Structure formats: C-alpha cells, structure tokens
C-alpha cells in the first residue's frame, strides 16, 4: 500500500464535504507537513499503536505505513471512522479499541508487541506521562500537541520536530529529524513554526544558500 499523504486524504474527503467530512483535515494531526508519515518512513514499523483515535484520520496514515495498528480511545467514533477507514481501504489493518480508563489501556497493551507508538490522547502532562510509560517498550514514540507537554518531554530527552510534534527514541537516533525540518515547505513552516525560532530572514538565507559575508 502506498503512503497516504495529507494532499491525497484531503482531496478524497473534499468530495464528501456536504456531509460534514471536509472539515476533518483541519482539526486533526493529519496536516500538510506529513510528520507522522515521515517519521514512520524512518522507523519502518510492522505493528504500531495509536492512543487517541478521534475521527480516525491519523489512523489512516499510520495504517498505510505498517501491517497493523492498534488504536485506542475512550470514546466510540464508529460512524465517522467506519466511513473513513472504508474510504481509504485500511479497515483490515486496524484493530479499534474503546477503553474505559487508563488501566484498560495498560492491560490491553501489556501483551502486545509493536515497534512504534503515536500518542495523541489526553493533553495533560499526567496523561502524556502515563501513555509514555505504557508504550515506551516499542522504542519509538511520536507525540502530538508537544507544546502543551514540553515540561514532561524534557525529562525524557525527546526532540521537537515542530512546535506541535516531538519524537522520542530509545536508541537516541535523532539524526533524521534535521532532514525532516529542512524539508518543510514555506506553508508548513508557517503552520508549525520552527523550533529554533529562527527569523524569516535566516530561513530564507538557509533555503537560498546565502551567507552574511
């Protein structure tokens, strides 16, 4: 299966905008920067875990990059996810789990093997810490909404890709992140902001190969 990019997903969903599906891309982590896809291209997992299903769009991207994804949420989004996963042909790769609480999540994942986790559940530091504890055995974790949990992310030595996304690796393999940042387009830079907060002039100089000499 080919990787499913933001542009492809957005164009497919726009056809159903009159039914209320066109807006979904604007309210999820499936964005023009394709960060989830790019990180997974590097990690190359066979089985993945997602915490925080919501409308199931990030699940679509994850499923396009591995053989199976276990996705967990505390709310049932059935009608939305059924349509979306059927539309993109990934139903057979997804194991959808609606859990009651954190203990349910821990119990479910305790006997599961997986190589990558995408955390987009509760956005508090306590939630992020708990989700990290029950998924870090996989060795590779991508966090959404990183700006809201920055204090916790510092304690685990994760690396920000953009303001919104941070990546943690058990083996400290972060070299590829610089390339992802360098490949961001102007639209993506404006959307996410550069983590190093470089001025626009400095970004232009980098892109054009200019110096101040």
Cα 165 versus chain centre, distance: 7
Residue 113 has pLDDT above 80, yes or no: yes
Predicted local distance difference test score (pLDDT) of residue 28: 59
CA torsion sign for 156, 157, 161, 162 is positive
Enter the pTM of the model.
0.85
Residue 140 has pLDDT above 90, yes or no: yes
Predicted local distance difference test score (pLDDT) of residue 204: 53
Which range has highest mean pLDDT (20-24, 135-139, 198-202)? 135-139
Q: Side by side, which strands form the sheet with 140-143?
A: 94-98, 68-73, 47-51, 116-119, 140-143, 166-169, 159-160
Q: Which residue has the tokens 């993506």?
A: 188
Query: What mean pLDDT is predicted for residues 152-158?
Result: 96
Percent of the chain exceeding pLDDT 70 equals: 82
Residue 84 has pLDDT above 50, yes or no: yes
Query: What mean pLDDT is predicted for residues 174-186?
Result: 83
Alpha-carbon distance 190 to 31, whole Å? Answer: 12
Residue 167: CB atoms within 10 Å: 23
User: Apex CA 101: angle with CA 110 and CA 71, to 5°?
Assistant: 60
Predicted local distance difference test score (pLDDT) of residue 183: 80
Alpha-carbon distance 17 to 5, whole Å? Answer: 18
Q: What are phi and psi of 116, to 5 degrees?
A: -155, 145
Distances (CA, A) of 197 to 190, 192, 203: 11, 11, 10
**Structural domains of the chain ordered from first start:** 6-208 (3.40.50.150)
Predicted local distance difference test score (pLDDT) of residue 212: 55
């Amino acid at each position: 299966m080919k990787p499913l990019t933001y542009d492809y997903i957005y164009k497919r969903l726009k056809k159903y905008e009159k039914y209320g599906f066109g807006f979904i891309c604007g309210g999820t982590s499936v964005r023009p920067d394709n960060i989830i896809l790019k990180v997974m291209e590097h990690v190359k997992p066979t089985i993945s875990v997602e915490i925080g299903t919501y409308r199931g769009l990030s699940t679509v991207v994850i499923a396009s990059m591995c053989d199976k994804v276990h996705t967990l949420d505390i709310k049932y989004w059935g009608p939305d996810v059924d349509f979306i996963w059927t539309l993109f042909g990934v139903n057979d790769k997804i194991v959808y789990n609606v859990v009651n609480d954190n203990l349910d999540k821990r119990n479910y994942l305790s006997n599961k093997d997986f190589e990558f986790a995408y955390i987009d559940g509760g956005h508090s530091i306590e939630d992020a810490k708990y989700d990290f504890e029950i998924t870090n055995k996989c060795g590779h974790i991508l966090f959404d909404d990183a700006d809201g949990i920055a204090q916790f992310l510092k304690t685990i030595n994760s690396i920000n890709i953009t303001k919104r996304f941070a990546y943690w690796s058990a083996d400290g393999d972060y070299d590829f992140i610089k390339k992802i940042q360098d490949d961001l387009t102007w639209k993506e830079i404006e959307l996410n902001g550069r983590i190093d907060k470089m001025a626009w002039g400095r970004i232009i100089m980098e892109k054009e190969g200019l110096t101040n000499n």
